[in-house]
Structure 1
Amino acid sequence: MMKSIATESPISFEAALQELERLVQTLETGNLPLEESLAAYERGMALLKFCQETLACAEQRIRILSGEELTPLASKEADAP
């Protein structure tokens, strides 16, 4: 039996991503009872939302730092004389 699904907010993007990966692996086995599968799915959706919001905030910060315009990162070859 799987231990209870966490309900608190993750401490970081990386922690959320790791937890989400573990949940996906657990769900893919197909060995969970229905109620535990639903709880894991619900937690996964909450983690996904957290990750998407975190990435959106990071993108916004980058936009602000780069003067409101996202520019593609230059390759190392383009930087060479």
Structure 2
Amino acid sequence: MSELEKLVASMEAGDITLDNSLILYRRGVDLVRFCQNQLSKAEQEIKFLDEEVLKPLDDDLLKEDKF
């Protein structure tokens, strides 16, 4: 994330060539895609964990105090 912030700052400063701007832009796109992928994986893992933890308790288990 910090690399992406540095890229944006460099591009906003406006003191780089067009070619370098395109290189930085491409790198920024790659970083954004990577971050989106990581976020998606984390969201899927959280959803999976929530489904396991937040299952309704079985009434029989509640009656037997085995939970």
Q: Which has the higher helix share?
A: 2
Matched, 1:67 2:41: no
Q: CA RMSD in A?
A: 1.0
- Partner Cα distance (1:21, 1:29) in 2: 12
What percent identity do the matched residue pairs reach?
Answer: 46
- 1:8-39 superposed Cα distances (whole Å, 9 cap, x missing partner): xxxxxxxxx01000000000001110100000
TM-score normalised over the length of structure 1? 0.63
TM-score normalised over the length of structure 2? 0.75
Which residues of structure 1 form unaligned runs of 5+?
1-16, 69-81
Structure 1 stretches of at least 4 aligned residues deviating more than 2 Å after TM superposition: none
How many pairs are equivalent? Answer: 52
Pick the aligned partner of 2:35 from 51, 68, 78. Answer: 51
